[in-house]
């Protein structure tokens, strides 16, 4: 069972004040890059894994998606998502992504924003996603980059006049307990190579792999983003079912 | 034109004493992992980009390869390769990989060990490789991992009781001048996402992406390799021509 940190009152309160929580997709700096990986959404049946407040579901409907199912482990987030949604084509379901059962060949697109780095048994979930997709479907997701999740004690140093991200433990995979928004948030560190291999073994062909960093315009608008050009914080990927399984 | 550092007398002298130069493939710690990405070699026509002393070419012949063409920019390395080779099925050619012209649909396997991080115009080379391969061919290569090539001033710090690799400038692509074996070695830093994107755009489907680190046995045998588990030094990849171009 995934740690349900989003239902922790302190975490939820701080998370709710983040730009991406208040402003939705437009408040997420990586959104333009992630959006560019998506197929045309008109008429598509979409599954959103880790849907949070439902920002993507509502946006996808604006783009003409036929229906969206949003799944999240957090009851607090789903409660707010439902408050903000009045659309019979959008449904929300509370479930732990470690154990969720998905219908077969039911979706054209599976989307997931910043959820997969919480998943311990990623292989199980990827196989479920592959099964839930139609053969010509899409799987588009973002997750924290392993360069960001690797260190046991994350931090920056000043080195030769430049900020340096202290990278270590990269090849030691497993749980990482960090203090992000609140104490004791558990994430699962795995290398990019491992995630790639799990995708291939689950029957996917990876079509896009983007290591996200802010644009010069974003850094100008939000100077505290400057460090995010020193090391990749997020990885965005798109994959499609492989021709042969 | 690539910097031909291997023909620099000082570099060549130190490089010639490295384990991988003296002991060949078995002296390269990543070789077992790279070897595992190769197809069955019997009867294959092989191109080796950056063939160096020809260790791979001679090994491939032992595995039953039909013919091997080794290309390298370094005259000193090719001279020694020829000295060590007496096999009419192995040919060597001196050429700059930035400009090399390859025949179309001529090879079953293109192999490259630790050469691509020197290439400035990687897209041109990848398109040439794609064209030189038969439709069901393989492209298997290793290169320095961008986490390793990124820093302008590479180095380690001690941080919270553990060695930390100082990562920065990851998203700033371009030339890096480092002092490896000799002063002023020029490498080309590009993100893993960029290399992946270039492969896809050149008509490849990536089938394997491995971030290499030493095994526990290797660290026990060579304790100075311990740090190589803290951050990936090499990335090994396998790709095949995409079904649709």
pLDDT digits (tens, 9 = 90+) for A1-35: 678 888 898 888 888 888 888 888 989 999 999 99
Question: B18-22, B79-83, B134-138, B235-239: which range is least confident on average?
Answer: B18-22
Query: What's the burial of B16, exposed, middle or buried (CB within 10 Å: 0-12/13-18/19+)?
Result: middle
Residue of A nearest to B210 (CA): A193
Global pTM value: 0.96
Selected residue with higher pLDDT from B214 and A183: B214
What's the confidence (pLDDT) of residue B245? 45
Residue of B nearest to A215 (CA): B171
User: Residues 6 or more apart from B35 whose CB is under 8 A from it?
Assistant: B25
Please check the confidence at residue B145 and state whether its pLDDT lies above 60. Answer: yes
Please check the confidence at residue B244 and state whether its pLDDT lies above 80. Answer: no
Complex prediction ipTM? 0.95
Mean pLDDT of all residues in A159-169: 95
Selected residue with higher pLDDT from A151 and B16: A151
Question: A72-81, A148-157, B2-11, B25-34: which range is least confident on average?
Answer: B2-11
β A234-241/A204-212 pair status: antiparallel
- As a whole number, the mean pLDDT across chain A is 95
Helix (H), strand (E) at residue B189: strand B182-189
What's the confidence (pLDDT) of residue A167? 98
Of A153, A164, A169, the CB nearest to B166: A164
Distance from the Cα of A139 to chain B's closest Cα (Å) equals 16
Q: Tell me the C-alpha distance between A186 and A146, whole Å.
A: 14
What's the confidence (pLDDT) of residue A76? 95
A contacts of B209 (beta carbons < 8 Å): 192-193, 196-197
Selected residue with higher pLDDT from B179 and B199: B199
Please check the confidence at residue A179 and state whether its pLDDT lies above 90. Answer: no
User: For residue B152, how many other CB atoms are within 10 A of its CB?
Assistant: 15
A contacts of B206 (beta carbons < 8 Å): 196, 206
User: Residues 6 or more apart from A84 whose CB is under 8 A from it?
Assistant: A53, A54, A58
Backbone CA torsion sign across B216, B221, B223, B229: negative
Q: Tell me the C-alpha distance between B4 and B136, whole Å.
A: 33
Sequence-ordered strand ranges (E) for chain A:
45-49, 67-72, 90-94, 107-113, 133-144, 156-159, 162-167, 174-180, 182-189, 204-212, 234-241
What's the confidence (pLDDT) of residue A7? 87
| Percent of chain B's residues with pLDDT above 90 | 84
Q: Which domains does chain A have, with CATH numbers?
A: 5-146+189-241 (3.40.50.150)
pLDDT digits (tens, 9 = 90+) for A77-90: 999 999 999 999 99
What's the confidence (pLDDT) of residue B2? 74
Please check the confidence at residue A245 and state whether its pLDDT lies above 60. Answer: no
Distance from the Cα of A40 to chain B's closest Cα (Å) equals 20
What's the confidence (pLDDT) of residue A5? 87
A contacts of B157 (beta carbons < 8 Å): 157, 159, 164, 166
Taking each continuous run of H as one helix and of E as one strand, the counts in chain A are: 9, 11
Residue of A nearest to B243 (CA): A243
Backbone CA torsion sign across A105, A108, A114, A117: positive
CA atoms within 13 A on the CB side of A229: 16
Give one DSSP letter per residue of A166-182, joined into a string.
EE--TT--EEEEEEESE
Q: Which residue has the tokens 């030339």?
A: B175
Of A162, A209, A243, the CB nearest to B243: A243
User: For residue B98, how many other CB atoms are within 10 A of its CB?
Assistant: 15
């Amino acid at each position: 069972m995934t740690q349900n940190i989003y239902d922790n009152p302190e975490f939820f309160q701080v998370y709710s004040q983040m730009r991406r929580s208040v402003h939705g997709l437009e408040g997420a700096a990586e959104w333009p890059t992630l959006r560019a990986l998506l197929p045309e959404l008109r008429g598509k049946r979409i599954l959103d894994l880790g849907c949070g407040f439902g920002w993507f579901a509502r946006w996808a409907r604006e783009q003409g998606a036929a229906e969206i199912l949003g799944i999240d482990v957090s009851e607090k987030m789903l409660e707010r998502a439902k408050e903000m949604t009045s659309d019979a084509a959008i449904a929300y379901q509370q479930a732990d992504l470690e154990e969720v059962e998905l219908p077969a060949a039911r979706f054209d697109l599976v989307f997931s924003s910043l959820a997969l780095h919480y998943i311990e048994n990623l292989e199980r979930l990827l196989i479920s996603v592959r099964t839930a997709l139609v053969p010509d479907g899409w799987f588009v997701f973002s997750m924290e980059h392993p360069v960001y999740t690797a260190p046991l004690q994350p931090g920056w140093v000043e080195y030769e006049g430049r900020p340096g991200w202290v990278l270590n433990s990269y090849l030691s995979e497993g749980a990482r307990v960090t203090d992000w928004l609140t104490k004791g948030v558990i994430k699962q560190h795995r290398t990019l190579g491992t995630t790639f291999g799990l995708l291939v073994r689950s029957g996917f062909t990876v079509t896009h792999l983007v290591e996200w960093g802010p644009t010069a315009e974003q850094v100008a608008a939000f100077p505290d983003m400057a460090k995010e050009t020193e090391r990749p914080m997020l990885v965005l990927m798109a994959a499609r079912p492989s021709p042969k399984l």
